[in-house]
Structure 1
Amino acid sequence: MIEIVEVDDFLHNLEKASNIDLQVVTPTLPLFKANSVSDDATAQRSIIGDAKGAFKAILANCFLLAFNMSPHAELSSTSSENPAPAVQRAFDGFLTENINENHLPSVENRSHLRYTPEEEVHDLVCVGFGPASLAIGVALHDALDGTDASLMDVPGLQTRSPKVAFLEKQSQFAWHAGMLLPGAKMQITFMKDMATLRNPRSEFTFLNYLHQKDRLVEFANLNTFLPARVEYEDYMKWCASWFEDVVSYDQEVVKVVPEKCASGEITTFTVVSRNQLTGRTEARRTKHVVIAAGGRPNIPRPFPSHHPKVIHSSKFAYTSKQVLPDYQAPYKVAVIGNGQSAAEIFDFLHANYPNSQTRLLIKGGALRPSDDSPFVNEIFNPSRVDSTFNRESRLRSTTLLEDKGTNYGVVRLNLLEHIYETLYMQRIRYGSSPEAEATQWPHRIMPYRRVMEVGDSPVLKNGVRLTIQDQSPLYFSEVPGGQERKEVMDVDAVFVATGYLRDLHETLLQDARHLMPGGDLADAKWTVQRDYKIRFEEKRVAEDAGVWLQGCCETTHGLSDTLLSILACRGGEMVRSLFEQPTKWDSGDVLGGFEERN
């Protein structure tokens, strides 16, 4: 049993101060009091989680009602046409004298969302619990907490706390764990955290995280807007810890199935998941589904998808030590890609494997810097999503292509300069001739290279052989006068930094394809509205039900769709879209032992 303070003493003091019987005011009070000392884990979780928010609000409601009906209430009816403000002041005074952290259940970092048993119909099930789903959870907490004025009037949140579940495949919250390299910095300001741009008063701001961790002053002394990547992941883990009650880890969602309904319209969906620890299949019914499963590693042809020595960048931090265990060994390593991740891996190998030979193969002529200048950064403003979505599709595609240089295949300038300086030092030591570069430089960038074949190395034990085409103008056969040139490279490991695919929703929604507009047409893809809600065929799905997509809508919503930049604001938009329609529930549904308001 979880130990919490006795609620009876508090209620007794409240009744004594007001000379009223609170059980007359609310018949469900005994249930609340019983739950407060119950052995039932669900009841305890509900009480403890509500302690600092809903507990005070409910008691305040009781107090207001009690004063309105109690003959002993010392309030003059002539003092005000509406006595509520005076009652509120009286209650506030009572709270000041009687409530502190020792009087209420002591709970650290607990959201206003409550655990819902698997068999109950949920309001919302989120597939995945990465930054996108976390932002939705944070926005929901802020809406229920009353700190976000923009979400105070959401109809579906006016009468009850929603029944929410997050299902996550990983065993714990993690964000790009495979690329948390020493010294790696964030590429966006910490102001674009889970809450600040939507609600600076939220408990979930990065600054409040620093305050809670007792590092605010020291961080300020760093004089930077770009925290270390490892610190930002810790910040998001801290945010995620608030939602432990409603997150189920080690749950791999395998499909989302629309449920048949007698009325003809789909009103609920079943989210089917597999417990990766037990193998047990679980099913949760819900009115709303958010698919925010993130991207899966993109390993393009001709690289094999499953090879112990061909590794995607998303796994680099914890697999490089296994593949390259000896930091002093003369390994031969190839890195594929021309973006930030590829550059970071290339730089890490140079710094930590001094005797290795590292080759960075890029398809272009040079590594290019990302553009994070102020005007260009406006591409990632939350308001830009509207203008992007509303553009004609051809113009939108052209704009996205123009903007890709801000995020794809580019590297932060300070890292570029550092790598260039590293290569320059090799010129001093080994010489600048093409022959010296090809035969003596331990670390090289090889431009205009394309890997044509991948196989086992005949000269390196357990190694990989790459057959590479030089596509520079001199050696590219498709260029007039060009000559075809291929070379082979034998390496101990290949690290592929070629991005992610974001199409898991197509697999998860296979059983719902008959609900597509026009039916299940061959090669048809799911489309979404501005609010990220999937377009189903008219009158097939009820207005207060549906499926929403997150992180896979770049072609319609812009480059920021897969990034952290707009998560705070988008989380608020999602909450409003999800709960715009009040949900109809049976009168027997209760919250924390209290009947729901009508």
Structure 2
Amino acid sequence: MQHIHDLIGVGFGPSNVALAIALDEKRHGSKPLDALFIERQPSFAWHPHMLLDQAHMQISFLKDLATLRNPTSRFTFVNYLHEKGRLTDFINLKSFFPSRHEFNDYLGWAAGQFEDACRYGEEVFDVQPEKQGGEVQFLRVRSRTADGRVQERLARNLVVSIGGVPNIPEGFRALRDDPRVFHSSSYLKDMAQHPQARRVAIVGAGQSAAEIFMDLQGRPGAPQVDFIMRARSIRPSDDSPFVNEVFNADFTDYMYSQGTEVRAALLDEFAQTNYAVADLDLIQQIYKVFYDQKVARGSRLRMLRQHDVRAVRAASDGIHLTLLDRDVQRESTVRYDAVVLATGYSRDQHKDLLAPLAPYIGPYDVDRYYRLKATPDFHPGIYLQGACEDSHGLSDTLLSVTSVRTGEIGNALLAAQSRARSAARDASQAVQI
């Protein structure tokens, strides 16, 4: 008989690493869940191609993988610093915001303690219902290794945590395979393929676009950089304390308790905390760069505000963008050696992965504890991480509530395991009688 895992986790980024930690800390001497995680990357990596030298975290280090759920955990960022011998030095920085390089190292340190529970270099591509007695009892999870071999495993529960997929604007989709046009998620890797680029465009106006602009403008060789945005200016993210309460764990309860219209209104009201915005300090740095250029009477850097990309054409000499200046209603065409799309992410890839289960899970609605609602004859639990913003709030795609959310999912999984074992024990006793 094929082995059946209590849980298979799809992806092993911060959310599922935090889940592995929560499950490890919740077992209290009892038999642990048989959990296996499958990650398509060859090793742990968190936005590896946006680890820019000057980039730092936008949230407090206390919103790590464990602290808000269990401040005494050995997996906190503070304990990481202690084990690395840097705790006192970090305190001397007087900052709540570590560099992105350091936080990535922390995440990798935590993930490294669960190496035996993760299969790296495999991509899950199919999830099928497995029936017994006419009802779905398990899930058959199929993955493909780097050398093309297909693996099949059975699971009682599935946690899908695959992150966002680069959002490519429609006008650029025909150039997906052109190496001169690439998304910010692969910026460092793809930009390295164009060391001689003399003119580069950045499309977007959020944090990633701003960080990439600062990186490009200071590179050796001084390329010309056009910062293209539909907005009139780069807007600062609102991280004031009362607004930041929308990222508190208890706000998730409030958000989920509301109807569809109120939820949508809340997302719209607080969108300026996360979407198409940048840190104020970073905005001030960019302003200083443009001011210094004015002093030097330079023209290498341009911020093209109120500009729409109306047409995109690939040619042997570069990528030609037709831009509409909405202020004066005038079009112009500019040639670029490289175009960086800092255009965000979409978060509905789980629907493609779970499509074979559509007859059982319907419109992908989740309960308060992130479990997909299903028909009565469907018994496996499927939990979504990072795909529930519409129902659980803006914090769902961020690190802010990760430790608390994974604690809730862990509790739900352990409760389901306990019920299943009790049912099996009762059935066994009934047979004996």
Whichever residue aligns with residue 492 of structure 1, its letter is D
Distance in 2 (CA, whole Å) between partners of 1:141 and 1:541 is 27
Letter in 2 for 1:355: A
> How many angstroms apart in 2 are the aligned matches of 1:465 and 1:221?
49
Are residues 1:251 and 2:122 paired? yes
SS at match of 2:187: helix
| Distance in 2 of aligned mates of 1:468 and 1:289 | 45
1:298-447 paired onto structure 2 within 5 Å: 298-303=167-172, 304-323=175-194, 325-326=195-196, 331-430=198-297, 440-447=298-305
Partner of 1:486: 331
- Give the equivalent residue in structure 2 for 1:286: 155
Q: 1:127 aligns with which of 7, 10, 21?
A: 10
SS for the counterpart of 1:576 is helix
Which residue of structure 2 lines up, in the alignment, with residue 512 of structure 1? 357
Counterpart position of 2:341: 496
CA shift for structure 1 position 191: 0.3
Q: Secondary structure at the match of 1:196?
A: coil
Distance 2:400 2:2 in 1: 36
> What amino acid sits opposite 2:358 in the alignment?
R
Aligned partners of 2:124 and 2:142 also within 8 Å: yes
Q: Does 1:448 align with 2:333?
A: no
Q: Distance in 1 between matches of 2:79 and 2:126?
A: 37
Counterpart residue number, 1:275: 145
The CA deviation at 1:404 is 0.6
Deviation at 1:570, TM superposition (A): 0.7
The match for 1:138 among 15, 21, 28 is: 21
For residue 584 of structure 1, report the CA deviation from its aligned partner.
Answer: 3.2
Q: Which has the higher contact order (CA 8 A, sep 6+)?
A: 2
* TM-score normalised by the chain length of structure 2: 0.94
Which residue is equivalent to 1:468? 323
Could you tell me which of 572, 576, 579 is aligned with 2:411? 576
Contact 2:159 2:384 in 1 (8 A): yes
Deviation at 1:354, TM superposition (A): 4.8
One-letter code of the match for 1:132? S
**Residue in 1 aligned with 2:135?**
265
What amino acid maps onto 1:528 in structure 2?
Answer: V
Unaligned stretches of 5+ residues in structure 2? 426-433
2:137 alignment partner AA:
T
Superposed displacement of residue 260, structure 1: 1.2
Paired letter, 2:314: D
CA–CA separation in structure 2 for the residues paired with 1:529 and 1:227: 34
Amino acid at match of 1:536: A
Aligned-pair identity (%):
41
Shift of 1:261: 1.3
Per-residue CA deviations over 1:37-80 (Å, capped at 9, x if unaligned) read: xxxxxxxxxxxxxxxxxxxxxxxxxxxxxxxxxxxxxxxxxxxx
SS of equivalent to 2:421: coil
Amino acid at match of 1:318: K
Determine the structure 1 residue equivalent to 2:384: 549
* CA–CA separation in structure 1 for the residues paired with 2:100 and 2:13: 15
CA distance in 2: counterparts of 1:452 and 1:119, whole angstroms: 55
Query: What is the CA distance between 1:427 and its match in structure 2?
Result: 1.0
Aligned partners of 2:282, 2:210: CA distance in 1, in Å? 8
Amino acid at match of 2:274: N
Structure 1 alignment gaps of length 5 or more: 1-117, 147-157, 431-439, 476-484, 518-524, 588-598
The structure with the greater share of residues assigned to strand is: 2
* Matches of 2:31 and 2:3, distance apart in 1: 15
Cα 1:462/1:577, change in 2 over 3 Å: farther
Following the alignment from structure 2 to structure 1, what is the Cα–Cα distance between the partners of residues 300 and 2? 60
TM-aligned CA deviation for residue 429 of structure 1: 1.2
Q: Distance in 2 between matches of 1:446 and 1:215?
A: 43
| CA gap 1:160/1:391 in 2 versus in 1, 3 angstroms | same
Partner of residue 191, structure 1: 62
Task: Indicate conservation of the 8 Å contact 2:361/2:372, yes or no.
Answer: no
- The structure whose Rg is larger is 1
- Tell me the secondary structure at the aligned position of residue 283 of structure 2: helix
* Distance of 2:143 and 2:406 partners within structure 1: 24
Task: Give the deviation of 1:462 after TM superposition.
Answer: 4.2
